[in-house]
Amino acid sequence: MASTAGFIISSSCHHVIDDQHWLARWYPPFAVPYFVYDVYAMFLCHRHRARVKGHEAAPAPPRRAAAAFLRQHPLLLLHHAAMVLVCFPVATLWRQDKGDFFLGCLLLAELSTPFLCLGKVLILLGLQRTWLHRANALALLGTFLGCRVLLFPFLYWAYGRARGLPLLRVPLALPARVNAAAAALLAPQLYWFALLCRGAWRIRLFRHFLSEVILTPFTP
């Protein structure tokens, strides 16, 4: 839903700064409850997983369980908290109906999430050795790289194009707080992408892709 809304918004805004779309005003308030629910759902999964693995004979007290959950997922929880406490006010109040195009592009970052979820489902079903898992891993790497990592240089380029600035001069033309916010959003994406690449290397994804997709058609 986020990716669909992001595509509609970004493709409808021909001027990246001044053009507006009604979804840009309505989608952030709609999305905020999801992040609150997602934290609660992850906490329940964390407690259930601990009991299934035999780490707990009985449910741990809520305070101790919450502390263990926080230690295990600090970056993810910080990301969700920032989305609710920082990104939501920025998207609804600080922008003053400017930059709907950029908001739409940021929503496109969620395009990689279905592939991440499908990968975890395939692992739970014991299908991590199948071609479907490798194809899904390639789709995850491609969408994550394009929609989460390379997204930020593209946004700088789009702003520079609208202002008549070369890409390398765009950071100097923007307020320091904008560059700091972009760096804060990009940093966890780089970390998660490195983890995805490490996982792909562990399952020899690139070797399978090279042998089965590229070399096989030319093998006599």
C-alpha pair distances (Å), 210 with each of 71, 76, 140: 38, 33, 17
Note the pLDDT tens digit of each residue in 173-209. 999 988 998 998 899 899 989 988 888 777 666 555 5
Report the C-alpha gap between 35 and 37 in whole angstroms. 5
Please, are residues 182 and 170 in contact by the beta-carbon 8 Å criterion? no
Please, are residues 28 and 92 in contact by the beta-carbon 8 Å criterion? yes
- In this prediction, residue 216 carries a pLDDT of 44
| Burial grade of 186 (CB within 10 A; 0-12, 13-18, 19 or more) | middle
Q: Which of these ranges, 32-36, 127-131, 214-218, has the smallest mean pLDDT? A: 214-218
Note the pLDDT tens digit of each residue in 144-161. 999 999 999 999 999 999
Query: Helix, strand, or coil here: 54?
Result: coil
Closest CA to 40 of 2, 66, 18: 66
Note the pLDDT tens digit of each residue in 63-106. 788 888 888 888 888 888 888 888 888 888 888 778 899 999 99
Report yes or no on 28 lying in a domain.
no
Domain coverage including residue 160: 112-214
Report yes or no on 24 lying in a domain.
no
Query: In the predicted model, is pLDDT for residue 35 greater than 80?
Result: yes
Report yes or no on 8 lying in a domain.
no
Report yes or no on 17 lying in a domain.
no
Report yes or no on 18 lying in a domain.
no
What mean pLDDT is predicted for residues 18-34? 90
E strand or H helix at 99? none
Please, are residues 6 and 110 in contact by the beta-carbon 8 Å criterion? yes
Report yes or no on 137 lying in a domain.
yes
Query: In the predicted model, is pLDDT for residue 218 greater than 50?
Result: no
In the block, residue with structure tokens 């939501």: 88
Q: What does the block give as tokens for 184? A: 């804060």
Report yes or no on 164 lying in a domain.
yes
What mean pLDDT is predicted for residues 3-23? 92
* Sign of the C-alpha dihedral computed for residues 137, 135, 46 and 54 taken in this order: negative
Report yes or no on 120 lying in a domain.
yes
- How many folded domains does the chain comprise? 1
In the block, residue with structure tokens 């959950």: 69
Closest CA to 119 of 95, 94, 144, 88: 144
pTM for the structure as a whole = 0.78
